[in-house]
Amino acid sequence: MIDPVVGIDWVRAHPERLVLADVRAYLDGRSGRAAYHHGHLPGAIFVDLDADLAAPATPADGRHPLPEPAVFAGRMAELGVGDDDTVVAYDDAGGVMAARLVWMLRALGHDAALLDGGISAYTGELETAVPQRGRAVFTGGPWPADRLADLEDAVSSSFVVLDARQPERFRGETEPIDPRAGHIPGARNVSCRENVGADGRFLPADRLRARFATAGVVDGAAVVSYCGSGVTACHNLLALEHAGFAPGRLYPGSWSQYSNTDRPAATG
């Protein structure tokens, strides 16, 4: 399987069976689809975070539960993503949104990676035409149990639990979306947006390793990653692999599920 992060030069050198996926999404009301139609990388398809990468939100399951495997496989097939394709996904936020698609594909054994630097890595002219891809054959399967965590795992001392949200949300100083502020007791904050530099490209592997080591991650550690709703948490999981650590587990319900329970919330 390819590295979870590839550069634009790698994309240019591997045009065969390559599918570019635009996964821009926003929490402030802007439309990712509108941004795609305004201009995207040539040949890129649009993958909708809410429609394609998540089941309907519920307080019990969180804001972005994983879709049923058959539903996800069907959406990929409709979008023209096949078993033999390599997907390179991008956004305009350092990959924190596109990471969800990449993690889902890799968890099912499909080659997928984030485009380092996102849409800004491409210096040519953007395209507005929507590519017409025929329906493909995409083999799904159950989400691997060893790549997932649930609420009990997220509170277990058996795991190093990482919170990918921004520090102020982790500390409980603000909570713009979910019912309560704070974080899961025992979790350590590794803000995914700090996995990349000002240019939107990933930090060198040694700096990523140092970030995770500060949060208690060592080789062989069992890691659970969560965020607000199981989306940006995938960025930390990809960054772990990119830095040479073993794959961790995603807690899909994340804070949006936990904060709807009567479990204690930590602050500070």
Rg (CA), the chain: 18
Indicate the angle between helix axes 99-107 and 233-242, nearest 10 degrees: 60
Q: Each residue of 156-214: pLDDT tens digit? A: 999 999 999 999 999 999 999 999 999 999 999 999 999 999 999 999 999 999 999 99
Query: Rounded to whole angstroms, how far apart are CA atoms 196 and 207?
Result: 10
DSSP string spanning 70-85?
Answer: HHHHHHHHHHT--TT-
How high is the pLDDT of residue 41?
98
Do the Cβ atoms of 106 and 1 come closer than 8 Å? Answer: yes
CA atoms in the 13 A half-sphere facing the CB of 219: 2
How high is the pLDDT of residue 29?
87
Q: Provide CB contacts within 8 A for 40, sequence distance 6+.
A: 22, 46, 119, 126, 127, 128
How high is the pLDDT of residue 15?
86
Residue owning tokens 């709703």: 229
How high is the pLDDT of residue 251?
98
Indicate the angle between helix axes 205-214 and 233-242, nearest 10 degrees: 120
Query: Does the CA dihedral 19-48-233-248 come out positive or negative?
Result: negative
How high is the pLDDT of residue 21?
98
Coil, helix or strand at residue 102? helix
Query: Does the CA dihedral 53-57-63-66 come out positive or negative?
Result: negative
How high is the pLDDT of residue 140?
87
Query: Rounded to whole angstroms, how far apart are CA atoms 162 and 212?
Result: 9
Q: Provide CB contacts within 8 A for 175, sequence distance 6+.
A: 169, 181, 182, 259
Kindly list the structural domains of the chain, giving each domain's residue range(s) and its CATH number in brackets, ordered by start. 5-121 (3.40.250.10), 145-258 (3.40.250.10)
Marked catalytic residue, from 49, 223, 227, 237:
227
How high is the pLDDT of residue 33?
97
Asked about 227 being catalytic, the answer comes back as: yes
Residues in the chain where the model's pLDDT stays below 50? none
